[in-house]
Structure 1
Amino acid sequence: MSEIWAKSVDEKNNNKIVTLAHHVSDVLKVFEFFKKKFSDNQFILNAVEIAIFFHDLGKVLPSFQIKTLGNIGYYPRDVVYEIPHSLFSVFWINIDKLKEKLNSEKYLNYIISAIAYHHWRDNFDEIISLENKQLKQVCEKVIYEWKEKLKENLVKEFEKLSGFDEYKELIDINMTWLKAILNHRLFVNLAVPPYKFDYHPLRGEVKKEWIFISGVLQRCDHFASWCEEEGAEEELENVEINAPEREYIIKAISSRIGDNAWQFKELEKCSAKNTILIAPTGYGKTEFAFLWSSGEKLFYTLPLRASVNNTFERAKNAFGCNKTGLLHSDAEVYLLDKNLDETGSIKLYELSKQLSYPVIVSTGDQFFPYALRPPGFERVFVSLSYSRIAIDEIQAYSPKACAIIVKFLEWIHKMGGKFLLMTATMPKFVIDYFKDVIPDFYENVNSINIYEKEKDAFSKLYKHKIKLNLIKTKNEQFEIPDEMVREILQKAKNNKRILVILNTVGFAQSVYDKLKNNANEQLKKRIFLIHSRYTLKDRENKEFDYINSEFKNPKTENVGKILVATQVVEASLDIDADVLYTEICPLDCLVQRMGRILRRYIYQNNEVVNKSNNEKFNLDKPFRAFEKEFQNEPNINVLVFNNENLQSGGQRVYTKELINLSLAWLWKVRDNQSNLGGLLDKTFQQEFADNGVEEFFRMEFADLILVQQNNKKKGKKGKGENKESVYNSLLFSHDWLAKLDQVEIELSEYDKYILVTLFYSTMKKDGRYLKDFYNTLIVLNSGLMSDKKSEAEEIFREICSVQIIPKNKFEEFKKDIQEFIKTIEQSGENKKMLFTQFKKDVLSKHIVMHFYLKDLEPVYNKLTTEIEIDNKWKRRLKHWLSGVYLSYNFVYDNEKGLIRAEKKESKKDSFII
């Protein structure tokens, strides 16, 4: 017989062979540790064990042994006939005997599917759904030449495994299926894949048991393979690292927030349930999420990488460094930068990718695209079936992404996992959807609304006073007026921290320039800029400096400074400033931006506490923090530009619907706070159809605009049908904007909550924003499944972004690559860390993310024409630099980030965060 290899691992230049029996044994050992998470369904666990035992039988194929693994002594000798080994595995199982053993054809189909597709490849479609020449040739070779020898190889190989005799006797040639392929039967009709919507058997809902069997097989197989490749089989037991005890977490959190904090009081009611938490910014939602995990596995997601890194550091303090993982696109670079132990950093990142840590902090795009169920979704779904997932700042996602998130959470609920939604500004349509899809919603989901629980206190706490500023523009050019620039600089000179948030990078850069050009030499050093169009290295340095130093919460020093930024500082970043100047944005975003201002003032135990000096104020009467700090001057200045789009991003950033409705509601509340509660009650009494929304706006906003009878079609319609739409007038007419200029509005913390709720509750479903949300759900509910994970990620992000190297960085980039190659060649390479090291030492210093552009040149092509590289490095660089382009339209400035090469920037040149 010929020994069957499962892997040929190049470890420190010495070939390490892992036989098939050894690999299956390792996967079964991992399963023994993993299945402790499940004890309620022994039948499914048995099905998983069977799938693990048979999953790699197809590696008996000669071409896989000789060509793929280099097992040159293998017999039969052949390298011509090949198909993916996972598909070949199903031809070596005695289906009839297995069916008898299971006494269930349903579970038989699940097992066969899990085995055949545990390593899905992009080319599987052409093999399984069409008559495939290669597949037929392999079947012929087995039937007429190889069958006895390959069966002998398998039987002898599995004799090395002790026990499992009942499974070994099922290893046999499946002649029925081999002949079926030769008789024009499609493979897809023998083994149904769980990834294709157009396959009839899956037009119904994919079964939970199917997901479970496939997902556990994938988790165990991937983890065993990682241990084997690392030469660390002692790690097999760490497929699921034990979570810290609940008491440990409570002690760590209580040392930070105190034993009597609201988080502990609320936890008693919801620790065993799905939970929706609505609480003000800076109110300790993160600590609540840590406590809510209750000693179970926790996935904690946030929208932005900077806030993920920050929360990861906080999570380590709560759960322990050896219990906390990190996942985002550049996590390994961040970990290497923070940890001198390179091996430890890579292990931490790999264990995070394996989902092994009991706490994993990540960006949402690492998980939510799996709502589209691309290949490998079962691995994530099964992991979340026994876990908890916390979603922070759901309002920060686009309506399409939000629809994908709620669909993802619907799946997690079906699988048995639990979710926690947290935000200061919860969109009502999200809760409405959950009420429709989660049976017995009020029994299965606990809602905590801190605003309502502390209504009396939050109604008296005023941190912010808004001033609306209508700014005239010329030729669509966006510019802050000179008098406002002087105002900002003067406040900074008076030792105030100023935060300026603009909607596009181009506008942020121009405002930054204007402020610096008009500041004195001393203040110039304290004017900062941050946005998303920096290299990874520059942005991380700036984020660390600004968040942890210059604008750290709470403000303790009496030094004036200015931070100009885009939406990257809008949510989840714990910064504290005194005054905000912001472009108009949707109400929920505006509330998030306001949350960075006077963040040091918090409500705690029936008092307002200034964390800067621990000064306390009672709430027997309204407390106005802005009045104490600024003698009643506005500390929130909203800039509205008097042109078609009202803000610099046009409708690429925020739709006109969101902007105009936000302004209308701000006008409504200017001197009418006392009636907000009544309006909220009115909107919750009934679900508005769009005609109901129109009537509501006619009653509440008619005095904002001039509503006249449309006489053009007089006599053609019945009475009342020719009324001009107030809703549409607000969206498409700007005559009413003049009424907003210089309007000042005091908002309590409770007012902000009411405003945002009203804003979302009275939005038309056929408007652009909600239409995106509901249309996406219609498609998802129809059963859409994505063919590739990358495709699912693009749909979730809604952005076709590319990695570019600006033209003025190319020479430095070229030199860094040459230096990297030289260093590796001299020191000896560690292949397992080579790309990570390249990403850290080279790519992080030069690449900037941007929307897809024309006139891009693949940087690899340019590189290989200018420097001499041997073939080994050419192969590596071609792979590493795939999708990286050289741009001649942009240059890079270390201070300002990515800027256009042209001196003048037109409206079209402004680019979004």
Structure 2
Amino acid sequence: MEKIQNLLKELWAKDDGTNIREHTDKLLENLQKLRDHYRKEIEELIPKCLPAKLKEKFWEILELACEYHDYGKIHCKFQEKLGNKSVKPIKGLPEVRHNLLSPVFVNVEDELIRKIVRLLVLHHHPVEVEEVSIESVERVLKEEFKFENNPIRFMLRKKEEDYLRDNVAKMFKIPVDGLIPYYRLLKGLLLRIDHSSSSKHAQDVEDIPPDDTLSFVDEFFRQKGSSPNQMQTFVRENRDKNLVIIAPTGAGKTEAGFIYIQKKGFFMLPYRVSANGIYMRAEGMFRNYAGLLHSSALSYVFEREEDREDIQNNQEGVAFLNYFLSRNFAKPIIISTPDQLMHFVFRYKGFEKYYATALYSRLVIDELQSYDPITLAFIVQGLEVLAQNGGKFLVMTATFPEFLRERFERMGVEFKTFNTQKKPYHHVQVIDDSIDNYVEKMIELSQKAKVLVVVNTVRKAIELKKKFKEAGLQNVKLLHSRFILKDRKEKEKEIMKFFNSQEKGLWITTQLAEVSLDLDADYLFTELSTADSLIQRIGRCNRKGQKPTNQPNVFIFTKDCSGVGPVYYKHLHESTLRNLKDGLWDWNFKWDLVEKVYSKSALYGTKYWEKFRKAENYIKSLWEGADSLIRSKSEAQDLFRDINAVQVIPEKFREKVESLIQEWEKAKGDFVRRAKLLSDILEYSFSLPAWSIRELEKQKIHDRLGIYYIEGDYNEDTGFVLKPTADTEEVENII
């Protein structure tokens, strides 16, 4: 063993010359951090049915796995691959992946502990049993390391959990339904520790967490001169339970979510724009404890930091480090989209890293109703897995899909509904006509009040803007998803400023208004959408309930609605229409409307129901032992995202973008600079559905960037206008 220890100090673990001993010591240091910060939370997850020995040895097993995980890197062929010239490879010797060799070096007397540690070490990188050449492994063991026997021959022939079941649980008479979750927890933590220790940018597995988020929320209320409301107090008193909270928009659900998190948690929102908004609030409350994580978080973090001293002093590294600490899950409070964590449900190789992190963190899921039926099934099944294994979550929503109630009740979740609106905020008039025929009425009201117009598609929004111009209203403001990022951000600032001012006027927008903007209009004119979407839209009018409701302030148009079919399920649209009424809509009516549209009996046999059930059954089969067809984290993430969206740049910005690409090329090796330049390039882009791209002239802006130049009309007033053959009213890409 002394010879091995010397080799660990001499030979490389990484191509930058970090030796194996240094890398291993970093893992052991991170293990200690994890234990210091979250020992209690993690130990509570160890299954109660296991023998006392395994409960007591949990941290020791994890430490042994960290110690031995990379011993196989002393293999001469691995050193050759890293470019270590001081090692002469043995001629004719096959190359064997280091994780297939590392388990052999595990030197532990206790047979049970040894088997678990070896299995963890073997599978800390994916292993496809059918592809392993046992003959090559044994040649290397014999010729390079002088092992006469191969102690892991049987382990190499069996799938990971099969070996655990047959060669550990049966042999040592350990309950398999306790041993598998125990092993998954160990493996997930090993992967977390290894991956963070290997990071080039942020090597801490965990940042120091706050003692409790409660003190920060209390300070927030003190500064506001207010106190927690009934709902926030309920969450505070029930933080040890899994909860579903149903309350109207503006009821203070965000603060309730922050209360629930305690020491470490993920606050998940359906859209990146919503996540950015909550991150601003979290950062204001928790300062450096908060991080942001979604597919374009780095661009947003740079933009947020630009006006600050750090960036002005050329300290982009500060923003960059914070981003990578979030990406490694080291930040205690992470605001994210579900695709960053919940993909563990697909049980691909290495899922345990995300599963274990979700288990010892608190999860807050906001606006559950916003997801399509397939993503919804993935999230609900993920929460069920976590509930079964000791995880904690809070679901907060304004409109809960009623058909999910029995599923959550089976998980032992406590439901609580809070009506913070003591009187109706909305007087609704349902109009059996097209919104196009009420342009004059909207113009008339916009002369004396703030009018918000919401339609179902971008095409409809652009058409309506033209109609207003023809009717004599020249300064018509428009916001939708086909503005380049640079213009869209300006428009979002402009619309927020308008609705917070004393100005009068009119804005046309799309679903963007539902999810990302806290607007407060005097009047809302909207095309009919589905119950959940409609209630979100209505919430953008008379938001605080301080305006009179003796006359209609919401007008819903039910004829010739755009987007029915491609954007909204036809049966949900029709079901919503059947249950509308004129007059005052209080919270109870809105709640009943959603209940009727999303009840099991209303959904049964529909496309929505079929998609949900198919996705739900697929995930259930994975957790009951079926092999996952999903092979990687990136494949799993794609299933959560709108993978049919493509990032595009209008041709008119080619010259500006080309000069940025040249700078990006020159900055090779400077990761921070390149990231900043990529962020600048993305300022000229927006997302389009992939099907519409097929109809357009396009060209990749660079071989290594999945962004395209596209032909088409673009101006900062209207945005990008698709030619008719490419615009078939597909779903608005609001993410």
SS of corresponding position for 1:841: helix
1:614-763 aligned at under 5 Å gives the runs 625-627=547-549, 632-642=550-560, 647-666=561-580, 670=581, 744-761=582-599, 762-763=601-602
SS of corresponding position for 1:845: coil
Deviations for 1:579-603, whole angstroms, at most 9, x for unmatched residues? Answer: 11111111121111101110022xx
Matched, 1:505 2:453: no
Contact kept in structure 2, 1:30 and 1:239, CA below 8 Å: no
Unaligned runs of 5+ in 1: 10-16, 149-172, 196-200, 473-479, 602-609, 611-624, 671-743, 864-876
Cα distance in 2, alignment partners of residues 797 and 337 from structure 1: 23
Shift of 1:471: 3.0
Cα distance in 2, alignment partners of residues 206 and 650 from structure 1: 50
Alignment CA distance shift 1:314-1:912 (3 Å): closer
Q: 2:510 aligns with which of 566, 570, 574?
A: 566
Alignment CA distance shift 1:792-1:811 (3 Å): same
Cα distance in 2, alignment partners of residues 176 and 412 from structure 1: 38
Cα distance in 1, alignment partners of residues 557 and 665 from structure 2: 50
Cα distance in 2, alignment partners of residues 648 and 279 from structure 1: 29
Alignment CA distance shift 1:113-1:858 (3 Å): farther
Matched, 1:342 2:256: no
Matched, 1:894 2:725: no
SS of corresponding position for 2:605: coil
Q: 1:615 is matched with which residue?
A: none
Cα distance in 2, alignment partners of residues 772 and 633 from structure 1: 41
Contact kept in structure 1, 2:511 and 2:732, CA below 8 Å: no
Shift of 1:800: 2.1
Matched, 1:854 2:694: yes
Matched, 1:249 2:202: no
Q: 1:8 is matched with which residue?
A: 15
Q: 1:274 is matched with which residue?
A: 242
Contact kept in structure 1, 2:213 and 2:258, CA below 8 Å: no
Deviations for 1:163-194, whole angstroms, at most 9, x for unmatched residues? Answer: xxxxxxxxxx483257x5xxxx8935175599
Shift of 1:270: 1.3
Deviation larger for 76-85 or 831-840: 76-85
Shift of 1:626: 4.1
Shift of 1:323: 0.6
Q: 2:198 aligns with which of 206, 215, 225?
A: 225
SS of corresponding position for 1:5: coil
SS of corresponding position for 1:885: strand
Tell me the C-alpha RMSD between the 2 structures: 3.0
Contact kept in structure 1, 2:653 and 2:684, CA below 8 Å: no
SS of corresponding position for 1:129: helix
SS of corresponding position for 1:421: strand
Q: 2:438 aligns with which of 468, 472, 484?
A: 484
Q: 1:395 is matched with which residue?
A: 369
Cα distance in 2, alignment partners of residues 504 and 206 from structure 1: 51
Q: 2:609 aligns with which of 758, 764, 770?
A: 770
Cα distance in 2, alignment partners of residues 817 and 533 from structure 1: 23
Matched, 1:471 2:433: yes
Shift of 1:271: 2.0
Alignment CA distance shift 1:766-1:848 (3 Å): closer
Contact kept in structure 1, 2:220 and 2:285, CA below 8 Å: yes
Q: 1:117 is matched with which residue?
A: 123
SS of corresponding position for 2:251: coil
> What residue identity is the alignment partner of 1:789?
K
Alignment CA distance shift 1:251-1:112 (3 Å): same
Shift of 1:285: 0.7
Shift of 1:507: 1.4
Contact kept in structure 2, 1:63 and 1:79, CA below 8 Å: no
Work out which of the two has the higher radius of gyration on C-alpha atoms and give 1 or 2: 1
Q: 1:90 is matched with which residue?
A: 103
Shift of 1:758: 2.6
Matched, 1:795 2:639: yes
Shift of 1:388: 1.0
Contact kept in structure 1, 2:695 and 2:725, CA below 8 Å: no
Alignment CA distance shift 1:82-1:894 (3 Å): farther
> What residue identity is the alignment partner of 2:188?
G
Cα distance in 1, alignment partners of residues 403 and 278 from structure 2: 28
Q: TM-score, normalised by structure 1?
A: 0.70
Cα distance in 1, alignment partners of residues 148 and 399 from structure 2: 58
Q: 2:50 is matched with which residue?
A: none
Deviation larger for 373-382 or 656-665: 373-382
Deviations for 1:361-394, whole angstroms, at most 9, x for unmatched residues? Answer: 1122222222222333212221222221111100
> What residue identity is the alignment partner of 1:633?
Q
Cα distance in 1, alignment partners of residues 619 and 88 from structure 2: 49
Q: 1:317 is matched with which residue?
A: 284
Cα distance in 2, alignment partners of residues 285 and 55 from structure 1: 44
Contact kept in structure 2, 1:429 and 1:760, CA below 8 Å: yes
Cα distance in 2, alignment partners of residues 353 and 276 from structure 1: 27
Shift of 1:429: 1.8
Cα distance in 2, alignment partners of residues 430 and 174 from structure 1: 58
Cα distance in 1, alignment partners of residues 298 and 162 from structure 2: 33
Shift of 1:528: 2.6
Contact kept in structure 2, 1:512 and 1:564, CA below 8 Å: yes
Q: 1:843 is matched with which residue?
A: 682
Alignment CA distance shift 1:65-1:796 (3 Å): same
Cα distance in 1, alignment partners of residues 251 and 179 from structure 2: 40
Shift of 1:650: 3.1
Contact kept in structure 2, 1:470 and 1:639, CA below 8 Å: yes
> Percent of pairs identical after alignment?
28
Shift of 1:563: 2.3
> What residue identity is the alignment partner of 1:253?
F
Matched, 1:351 2:325: yes
Q: 1:140 is matched with which residue?
A: 139
Q: 1:162 is matched with which residue?
A: none
Shift of 1:250: 1.7
Cα distance in 2, alignment partners of residues 80 and 536 from structure 1: 54
Q: 1:718 is matched with which residue?
A: none
SS of corresponding position for 1:409: helix
Cα distance in 1, alignment partners of residues 298 and 160 from structure 2: 37
Shift of 1:565: 1.7
Cα distance in 1, alignment partners of residues 454 and 473 from structure 2: 22
Alignment CA distance shift 1:573-1:86 (3 Å): farther
Alignment CA distance shift 1:905-1:76 (3 Å): closer
Deviations for 1:217-275, whole angstroms, at most 9, x for unmatched residues? Answer: 1111122222xx34x8xx74845534556323322234337125324532353122111
Contact kept in structure 1, 2:232 and 2:255, CA below 8 Å: no
Cα distance in 2, alignment partners of residues 115 and 597 from structure 1: 57
Deviations for 1:512-558, whole angstroms, at most 9, x for unmatched residues? Answer: 3333454445xx0xx332222333333333334433x223xxx4x33
Q: 1:729 is matched with which residue?
A: none
Cα distance in 2, alignment partners of residues 893 and 32 from structure 1: 56
Contact kept in structure 2, 1:404 and 1:777, CA below 8 Å: yes
Q: 2:648 aligns with which of 784, 804, 807?
A: 804
> What residue identity is the alignment partner of 2:296?
D
Contact kept in structure 2, 1:91 and 1:174, CA below 8 Å: no
SS of corresponding position for 2:648: strand
Matched, 1:884 2:722: no
Q: 2:131 is matched with which residue?
A: 130
Contact kept in structure 2, 1:299 and 1:389, CA below 8 Å: yes
Contact kept in structure 1, 2:579 and 2:593, CA below 8 Å: yes
Cα distance in 1, alignment partners of residues 517 and 114 from structure 2: 50
Alignment CA distance shift 1:514-1:815 (3 Å): farther
Shift of 1:788: 1.8
Q: 2:498 aligns with which of 527, 550, 556?
A: 550
Shift of 1:24: 0.6
Deviation larger for 790-799 or 20-29: 790-799
Q: TM-score, normalised by structure 2?
A: 0.86
